[in-house]
A and B are shown apart, each in its own frame.
Chain A
Amino acid sequence: MSTRAKVEITVNGRPTSADVEPRLLLVHYLRDTVGLKATNIGCDTTSCGACTVLLDGESVKSCTVLAVQADQQSVTTLEGLAELSPGGEPHPMVRAFRAEHGLQCGFCTPGMVLAAVSLLAEHPDPTERDVREGLEGNLCRCTGYHNIVRAVLSAAGKDPDAEQRREAESDAARIAPAFSTGEAGA
């Protein structure tokens, strides 16, 4: 059983092709067949988002996509992000993660960055809450969410301090007056 299938996938702008077993997962195609190791496998159960890549521009969890499903489509991994950015500069999202210190151990980072790129493509002018909700499919075991959210806001051209202050104030306003809020602040 299991006849091999030929796939042709454009990865980071370059054509790739291989005869693969249909059961090969896209993440294994990227890491082992093409040799691009930035895409991590965390949970392998569609929960953590570490394996997030762009498939025809949209974020997907590559542990839950077969390589054959991506045949004749294009994939962007962290290695290829520079190509989406003018002049071969690091992609603005990558620069924002660096500037805001949006990573600690870095394991979640490739998936986080690609999920964030997809989020801004769909939501160019997000609030803090939009960013947090838009990244709900990505877990950071270092719990570095605060700076990750700041990085995404900054990549969207927003002032992270102002956005986080506004969100904290609106959170405080939603909480019943009898409830102790401590210090509301970013």
Chain B
Amino acid sequence: MIPVGFDYARPDSVDAALALIAEHGEDATILAGGHSLLPVMKLRLAAPELVIDIGRLTELNYIRVDGDDVAIGAGSRHREVEVSEVLATEVPLLPAVARTVGDPQVRHRGTIGGSLAHADPASDLPAAVLALNGMVVLRSPRGERSVPITQFYTGVFSTVKEPDELIVEIRVPRAGAQLSQGWAFEKFTRRANDWAIVGVAVVDGRVGLVNMGSTPLRASATEAALADGASIEDAAALADQATDPPADTAATPQYRRHLAKVLTRRALQTASGG
């Protein structure tokens, strides 16, 4: 499968990339790791006229403590998230989730910024960042803004990101001493390197759901029950409330509802050290 022909640019800075996006508008597409975009282009479901490659901008490649947050450059590869010592200490959920994305070859290429931008509800990292109450930092020629991830997603493959904006950074609060209720990630797949049929990320009593609706979701009813002192079993039984899980060849919506409850219970038990 060969993509439709396109022009290719590899600007050497974020500013140069932003200028190119501004100049070419909807004819241009950003390429980061290419592990969502290239498959779509090979199927000819996307045919941009210009591909702007930001995959080698070292400016976007860092993971560092910044005040009360860890700041992650959008260009950080899944593998870099997986082995980051800063994240291992400050936000251990993220390396654990990154480790389950695809396979090693996919993790050597795919980036956290690309994963968040692509907005596939079956992706793991968006639900994890959602459970972490993270922020998405967007930059355009008009300036920079930070959007809480709770307000970032608007539907399948769609976000509040404007066409001339790049995701430059993802910020997640440092866990440190605040992490009173632990963390865990449960991902249910049929084959080793598959996408989640359902995934559940738990951190500090917050619950993010993978593949339970058109966007990553929080299991709000579970969170509220936990805050009111409900048992893990009782709280987890509410995990599918206000979700709208998809039907596909892997599972029916009913089965996904069942999985969400079981995986939420397991994740909460692991997070509580049980």
Asked if A23 and B103 make an inter-chain contact with CB atoms under 8 angstroms apart, the answer reads: no
- The secondary structure that dominates the A interface is mixed
| A30: interface (CB < 8 Å) | no
Q: Which residues of the other chain, B, contact A25 by a CB distance below 8 angstroms? A: 2
Q: Are A2 and B193 in contact (CB under 8 A)?
A: no
**What's the Cα separation between A134 and B5 when bound, in Å?**
35
Most buried by A among B35, B53, B104, B109: B104
Interchain CA distance A137-B193 in the complex, whole Å? 7
Q: Does B255 contact A (CB under 8 A)?
A: no
Binds B, one of A65-73, A155-163, A176-184: A65-73
Neighbouring B residues of A137 by C-beta, 8 Å: 102-106, 193
B88 → A minimal CB distance (Å)? 15
**Chain A, residue nearest B82 (CB):** A122
Say yes or no: B34 contacts A64, CB within 8 Å. Answer: yes
B105 x A1 contact (CB < 8 A): no
- Which residue in chain A gives the minimum CB-CB distance to B5? A2
Most buried by B among A58, A64, A65: A64
Q: Is B7 an interface residue (CB 8 A)?
A: yes
For A, the interface residue count at a CB cutoff of 8 angstroms equals: 33
Q: Decide if B258 is an interface residue (CB 8 Å cutoff).
A: no
A-B contact count (CB 8 A): 83
A68 in contact with B53 given A44-B42, A137-B102 (CB within 8 Å): yes
Indicate if A61 sits at the interface (CB-CB under 8 A).
yes
Collect the chain A residues with CB atoms within 8 Å of residue B5's CB.
1-2, 21-23
Residue numbers in B under 8 Å from A77 (CB-CB): none
Binding site for A on B (CB under 8 A): 1-8, 10, 31, 34-35, 38-39, 41-42, 49, 51, 53, 55, 79, 102-106, 108-109, 192-193
Given A45-B39, A58-B108, 11 more A-B residue pairs with CB atoms under 8 Å apart are: A1-B49, A22-B51, A23-B5, A46-B35, A46-B105, A49-B103, A64-B35, A64-B38, A64-B39, A69-B55, A136-B193
List 27 A-B residue pairs with CB atoms under 8 Å apart, sorted by A's residue number: A2-B6, A22-B6, A23-B4, A23-B6, A44-B42, A46-B39, A46-B105, A59-B104, A60-B108, A60-B109, A61-B106, A64-B109, A65-B109, A66-B8, A68-B8, A69-B31, A69-B53, A69-B55, A115-B105, A118-B108, A119-B104, A122-B104, A134-B104, A136-B192, A136-B193, A137-B102, A137-B104
